[in-house]
Amino acid sequence: MSLSPPPFLDAVRDRGFCFVEADVMRAWLEDEGSLGDWGPFVDSWNRLEPDRYLAQLGKQRRRRHAVFRLEHGVEGARVQPCPHQPHYQSLAYNTLQGDIERWFEPIEASVAQGESLKAILRHCHALFASLAPGVAAWHAEVHQFRIEAQADVPGQPTPEGMHRDGVDYVLVLMVDRENVARGTTRIHDMQGREVGAFTLARAFDAALVDDARVFHGVTPVEALDPALPSHRDVLVVTLRDADRTPDPGLQPR
């Protein structure tokens, strides 16, 4: 299937980012494929593993990770899983945990092969191929994140602060929020000026980011009721031109 680019893509082209409301994003995903396994997909966040690298710094979050190759196919994107591999960012992009290979637990096979994730990846290909039609294939990294807020300790969605990821494009998709406040996504331009702020509050709310043009970060989340469990669950997909090796500092386009 090959769809016309959605109107919200113009905002990414013009400003380098866009907030997409849940109803719009869900409709677009359903045009790309089935979300028939969305319930089990959401439930898989309950089985994420602790991020042991961040725990060494006294911070907490849970995550899983997988890598795919996205290519043009006869009926849209062809989604190919890659062997399990580490996640790597240079210090130029991640001053907290850069220049190390971080091995996270893989995304569960049922999720990686499921309808919902495939629809999301096909969606990413359709969106960002429209912005970069010369790219033959994408290296896509998929991250499941759960940020938990405790009674006296806010959760840190982006402990590295305002940052870029060292890729070409980023999708952040809200999956679930339970008993949390705040968690505002902030966008800064290359001069450090805030050019956008919004909160992913509902399942399917999404942020689209041109990583070479803007910085992004998320404010801490706090428990609304400290006596109850609280979490912020998101799926992050990053896309990089598969023919370009990662470099220590992408220049703005």
Q: At residue 227, what is the residue type?
A: A
CA distance 164 to 223: 27
CA 181, CA 149: separation in Å to the nearest integer? 10
Q: What was the pLDDT predicted at 253?
A: 34
Residue 56 to residue 12: CA distance in whole angstroms: 36
Q: List the beta strands (DSSP E) in 92-241.
A: 100-102, 137-148, 169-178, 180-182, 184-188, 194-199, 206-210, 215-218, 221-223, 231-241
What is the predicted pLDDT for the residue at 247? 55
| Rounded Cα distance, 80 and 112, in Å | 10
Cα Rg of the chain, angstroms:
17
Per DSSP, 44 falls in state: G
How far apart are the C-alpha atoms of 148 and 108, rounded to whole Å? 21
Grouping H, G, I as helix, E, B as strand and the rest as coil, residue 154 is: coil
Which residue in 215, 243, 232, 231 sits closest to 95, CA to CA? Answer: 215
Q: Which residues of the chain fall below pLDDT 70?
A: 1-5, 55-59, 74, 90-91, 94-99, 246-253
Sign of CA dihedral 105, 110, 116, 119: positive
Domain boundaries, the chain: 9-240
pTM: 0.91
Q: What pLDDT shows up at residue 250?
A: 41
What is the fold, at CATH topology level, of the domain defined by 9-240? Jelly Rolls (2.60.120)
